[in-house]
């Protein structure tokens, strides 16, 4: 059981950090949350650990987002809660070019509906159709439809942006 979790940790830790990073936009915070996810997995011993790990990661990221909203509404969060000091904004210490490239993708991603975005990120994190369906409440048959739309929109939005700014970043 522990070996399973350890294997999962080795194989998905980076994907979990990336998944969280794309939600909280803070590398350190994403790592903290990812570690929290695996610490919880160790005490919960979930039956389907891979799906569980991403479900908990999604919840933690949602908490962060809600906390940010709540702070705006002057409701107070206090002590001990990991939500207390998130920093929201792009990661520092990167090259300007990398930052720009990232920002353009980030903008494109933000044009997607929350659900399309979530499903795209879950797919990119390596979850299977049934796992994505279970986590989002979507029918398995609808995952393909959603991904088709999300991919199209992401690429379209990015292309539109590039042609607008004229600074065409090399497509890889």
Partner 1 sequence: MRHIPEDELHAYLDQGLNRTQCVEIESHLADCPSCRAMRDGIAALRDRTTALLARLAPPRSLPPTFEALRKRAAEVASERRRRLHALAWAASLVAAVGLGWTASSLTRPNEALQSPAPAVAAGAASDGTMRRPDAGQPLQVAAAPSPGRDAPAVARSGGQPSRTAGLVARPPDSARAASRDAALSVLNPTPALELTRLERPSGHGDLELGGMWRTMSWDGAKAEAGERLPHIDGLPVVQVQVQSGEQSSRPVMVVAQQLASGQVIRTIEGPATDVSQLLSRRAISDVDSLFLPGDSAGLGRDASHAMAMQLGDRMLAITGDLPSDSLRAMIRRLNAEMRGK
Q: Residue 33, interface with partner 1 (CB under 8 A)?
A: no
Count, residues near partner 1 per rule CB under 8 A: 62
Q: Residue 106, interface with partner 1 (CB under 8 A)?
A: yes
Contact of 7 with 48, CB cutoff 8 Å: no
Footprint of partner 1 on 63-82 (CB under 8 A)? 63, 66, 74-82
Nearer to partner 1, 43 or 163 (CB): 43
Residue with tokens 């490239």: 101
Query: What tokens does 84 get?
Result: 């207390």
Nearer to partner 1, 80 or 114 (CB): 80
Position among 49, 122, 136, 158 found at the interface with partner 1 (CB under 8 A): 158
Q: Residue 42, interface with partner 1 (CB under 8 A)?
A: yes
Q: DSSP secondary-structure letter at 168?
A: -
* Angle in degrees, CA 130, 133, 135, rounded to 5: 110
Nearest-angstrom CA–CA distance, 103 and 141? 32
Q: Residue 145, interface with partner 1 (CB under 8 A)?
A: yes
Q: Residue 52, interface with partner 1 (CB under 8 A)?
A: no
Nearest-angstrom CA–CA distance, 116 and 47? 27
Q: Which residues contact 104 (CB under 8 A, 6 or more apart)?
A: 158, 161, 162, 165, 169
Contact of 15 with 58, CB cutoff 8 Å: no
**Which residues of the shown chain bind partner 1 in the complex (CB under 8 A)?**
2, 5-6, 9-10, 13-14, 17-18, 21-22, 27, 30-31, 35, 38-40, 42-43, 59, 63, 66, 74-83, 91, 93-94, 98, 101-102, 105-106, 108-109, 120-121, 123-124, 128-129, 140, 143-145, 147-148, 151-152, 154-155, 158, 171-172
């Amino acid at each position: 059981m522990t070996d399973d979790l350890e294997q999962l940790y080795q194989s998905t830790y980076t994907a979990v950090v990336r998944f969280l990073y794309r939600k909280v936009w803070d590398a350190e915070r994403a790592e903290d949350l990812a570690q929290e996810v695996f610490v919880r997995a160790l005490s919960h011993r979930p039956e389907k650990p891979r799906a569980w790990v991403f479900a908990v990661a999604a919840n933690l990221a949602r908490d962060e987002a809600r906390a940010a909203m709540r702070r705006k509404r002057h409701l107070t969060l206090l002590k001990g809660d990991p939500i207390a000091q998130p920093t929201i904004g792009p990661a520092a210490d990167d090259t300007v070019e990398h930052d720009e490239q990232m920002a353009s993708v980030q903008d494109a991603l933000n044009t997607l509906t929350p659900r399309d975005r979530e499903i795209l990120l879950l797919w990119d994190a390596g979850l299977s159709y049934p796992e994505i369906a279970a986590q989002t409440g979507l029918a398995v048959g609808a995952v393909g439809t959603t991904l088709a739309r999300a991919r199209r929109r992401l690429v379209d939005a990015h292309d539109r942006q590039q042609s607008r700014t004229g600074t065409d970043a090399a497509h890889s």
